[in-house]
């Protein structure tokens, strides 16, 4: 007795794989574009908050740009990466905390770690395990 199931030829299999990979690439690119747009909107709204604050806005924007490159930082790392002095970086971080832009996550007095949670959450979207 002969089964009449269609047998996928090598060409058919390749064509199916090309379609699947094409859909995955398009989905990935759309996710990348929407993520980039959301990050730009977030950073623009953060800058608007800082500009309203006006006190040491230049240092706060410099610290914010540092968090954009790496969303988890200590004050010393902000100093090294931004070129700000320790007092300027400390004041800038205090201002960013008051504005609700970054948060301190260790609860310690020394060697505190600060995070830009909204930036980090946008960057990690779509990376959850299925």
- The three-state secondary structure class of 114 is strand
- pLDDT one-digit tens code per residue, 54-110: 767 889 999 999 998 899 999 999 999 999 999 999 999 999 999 999 999 998 888
Given a cut of 90, whether residue 33 has pLDDT beyond it is: yes
Given a cut of 80, whether residue 53 has pLDDT beyond it is: no
**Contacts (Cβ under 8 Å, ≥6 apart) of 115:** 71, 72, 102, 103, 105
Domains of the chain with bracketed CATH: 11-124 (1.10.10.10)
Q: 12, 25, 95, 106: which is closest to 59 by C-alpha?
A: 95
């Amino acid at each position: 007795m002969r089964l009449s199931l269609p047998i996928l030829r090598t060409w058919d299999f390749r064509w199916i794989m090309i379609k699947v990979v094409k859909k995955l690439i398009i989905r990935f690119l759309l996710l990348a574009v929407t993520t980039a747009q959301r990050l730009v909107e977030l950073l623009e709204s953060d800058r608007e908050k800082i500009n309203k604050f006006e006190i040491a806005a230049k240092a706060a924007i410099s610290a914010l740009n540092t968090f954009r490159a790496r969303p988890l930082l200590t004050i010393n790392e902000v100093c090294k990466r931004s070129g700000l002095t320790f007092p300027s970086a400390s004041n800038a971080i205090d201002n960013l905390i008051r504005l609700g832009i970054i948060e301190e996550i260790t609860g310690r007095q020394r060697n505190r770690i600060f995070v830009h949670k909204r930036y980090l959450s946008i960057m990690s979207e779509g990376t959850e395990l299925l």
